[in-house]
Amino acid sequence: MTVMIAPISDKALDDNGKFRPTWIEYFSAVNRGDVGTTWNPTVSNLTSVGTPTITGVYYQNGGFTDFAVKIVPGTNTSSVLGTTTIALPFTVVADAAANVVSGVNVAQAAINSSGKLVYLPTWSVITVPITITGRVKS
């Protein structure tokens, strides 16, 4: 994330009482927050037929990190509770839950803070994309 420094050497207001362009640019950047960081998640012990496409993104704001991982099966994927995990690339302060969504089905996953791992639930021969989302204290 790019950190912008306030342009304090420039007066904030012009002679008409309007913000100068440097300050408008600064306020716009502050308002945006974290625009997200993409990463290539490592999913351990995921059984798959065909090569799945696995993508991830996370956002860090206000001491929390929100993340999403999408698994698009080559043909199908399967997971085993307590065995299939996703390694997280950021700090996790406390254990938490995550949602696992496939079509209209929702299950929960467990996030282990000490190992920075998401433990996925069991699913078998799923042929549609699976999205895992969560929020952790970071």
Residue-wise pLDDT tens digits, 33-53: 678 999 999 999 999 999 999
CA 56 from chain centre, in angstroms, equals 6
SS3 of 121, please? coil
What was the pLDDT predicted at 127?
96
Query: What is the pLDDT at residue 31?
Result: 64
Backbone conformation region of residue 120, classed left if phi is above 0, alpha if psi is from -120 to 50, else beta: beta
The structural domains of the chain, ordered by start, are 1-32 (no CATH), 37-137 (2.60.40)
Say yes or no to pLDDT of 4 above 90. Answer: no
Q: What is the pLDDT of residue 1?
A: 45
CA angle 136-98-53, nearest 5°?
105
d(CA 96, CA 112): 7
pTM: 0.78
Q: Can you give the pLDDT at residue 79? A: 98
Mean pLDDT of 44-70: 95
Predicted pLDDT at 9: 86
